[in-house]
Amino acid sequence: MARRIRAASLENRTNRLKLPVRKKPFTALIAPNISIAYRRNEGAGTWSVKCNGWLKRFALADDYEDANDDSVMTYWQALDRAKTLARADEGTTEQMASVAETIDSYEADLERRGGRKYNATQLRLHVSKTMQAKTVALLTEKELHQWRLGLIASGLMPSSADRIAKSLRSALNLAAANDDRIKNASAWKEGLKKPDDEDAEPRNIILPDETITALVHGAYEEDHAFGVIMDTLAETGNRESQLFRLKVHDLQDHLAAPRLMMPSSKKGKNRKKNRSIEYRPLPISVRLAKVLRQHVKGKRLDAPLFAKMWDLAKRLKPVIERLKLDDDDGITPYAFRHSSVVRQLVQGVPIRVVASHHDTSVAEIERTYSRFITGDPTEALTRATLLDLAKPVATSNVVKLAKR
């Protein structure tokens, strides 16, 4: 059995509380080039690991509360954790990233890819300073699960908590992808998972055509450029991210049959793989083509079709209020996409065509919108196949089946 290093002044709370309060930590060498460090504070002391010239705090000492082998540790628990963290760092002098540094890297990555930096900045508002200071490699499933529950306890809607948790998971995945020493990806995969009993049935807002028309006209009244974006979202049913990647030359303005060459979504793609963007022709109305033609007047062919515009949902709120729509319904621009899918389904458009039009899969359409694959068109198709057992059948038409 491996020998465990003793440090009489640090092993128990009685001896630790006899130490003077000071900023410089008390250290004990526990392995070659690895030391455990205890800082005596007015309140509970803290445990840190010192290795290769860097010092990283990872837990409170059990000076005033019982240890839980996570956020509060005994000397022996801290000793094992310090070795684990330091050994992951052997062979390099680079300090392992903290959660705060990971959020910074995530923000830079979003900016590089033209993504929404708000996904990173909102994390700084909801992740405590204590958690931001923690090393990513020391995050635990229990800690992350409690953090996610805390978001809802603070008053956030479960859907909002889920979006923030997804942002943190993306940031941590990026950290793990950039540092092979981070081996605890399962902690955030499980800890940030959406509970089975939380919003088990996704609530997709389906808007009547007249409501969508009113919202689009209201958006034009707010700001013309905003109105053009809402108009295009409503007619195509595609994602905001796809619209903002369109170029002027993607508007193929044929007089009788205009269309947009819509880029595929990057949703679910591995960032490490440089996959080419696919474009597919998407029919649009002559009316929308005329609006877009006027919108791009004077622009270069390789210029963006739409200027990047963030917080479309926030911009839509004044329109919703002016139209006296129930904001509790959670109406956002994404409702245009749900409504577009359902509109095509109830009008009998084949599911495969609907899936292709909205850049998704047949399986996803069936899983999310199966309850809408009913109504007059499909009912008429099914009704045409019903047997008419009341109709008499001529005896001569009855064919006797052969016995086997």
For 130-164, the pLDDT digits (tens) are 889 888 888 888 889 999 999 988 888 887 888 89
Same domain, 259 and 376: yes
For 282-312, the pLDDT digits (tens) are 999 999 999 999 999 999 999 999 998 888 9
DSSP class per residue in 312-350: HHHHHHHHHHHTT--GGG---THHHHHHHHHHHHHTT--
- The answer to whether residue 72 is domain-embedded is yes
Please tell me the predicted confidence (pLDDT) of residue 336. Answer: 94
Same domain, 178 and 225: no
Q: How does DSSP classify residue 86?
A: H
For 25-71, the pLDDT digits (tens) are 999 888 877 889 999 999 999 999 888 777 888 889 999 999 988 88
What is the share, in percent, of the chain residues with pLDDT greater than 70?
83
What is the DSSP pairing of strand 72-73 with strand 54-61? parallel
Same domain, 184 and 331: no
Distance CA 257, CA 279 (A): 17
**Is residue 397 very low, low, confident or very high in pLDDT (cuts 50, 70, 90)?**
low
DSSP-derived 3-state class of residue 87: helix
Please tell me the predicted confidence (pLDDT) of residue 82. Answer: 86
- The answer to whether residue 93 is domain-embedded is no
More confident: 396 or 373: 373
Q: How does DSSP classify residue 149?
A: H
Structural domain that includes position 372: 209-381
Same domain, 139 and 280: no
Same domain, 141 and 59: no
273 phi/psi in degrees, rounded to 5: -100, 125
Please tell me the predicted confidence (pLDDT) of residue 272. Answer: 44
Same domain, 132 and 78: no
pTM score? 0.57
Residue 317: pLDDT over 70: yes
Please tell me the predicted confidence (pLDDT) of residue 220. Answer: 95
Please tell me the predicted confidence (pLDDT) of residue 130. Answer: 85
For 249-262, the pLDDT digits (tens) are 999 877 788 999 99
Most confident of 276-280, 330-334, 399-403: 330-334
For 268-279, the pLDDT digits (tens) are 544 444 456 788
- For residue 203, give every residue at least 6 positions away whose Cβ sits within 8 Å of its Cβ, in sequence order, or none: 330
Give the sheet arrangement for strand 34-39, strand by strand: 26-31, 34-39, 46-51, 54-61, 72-73
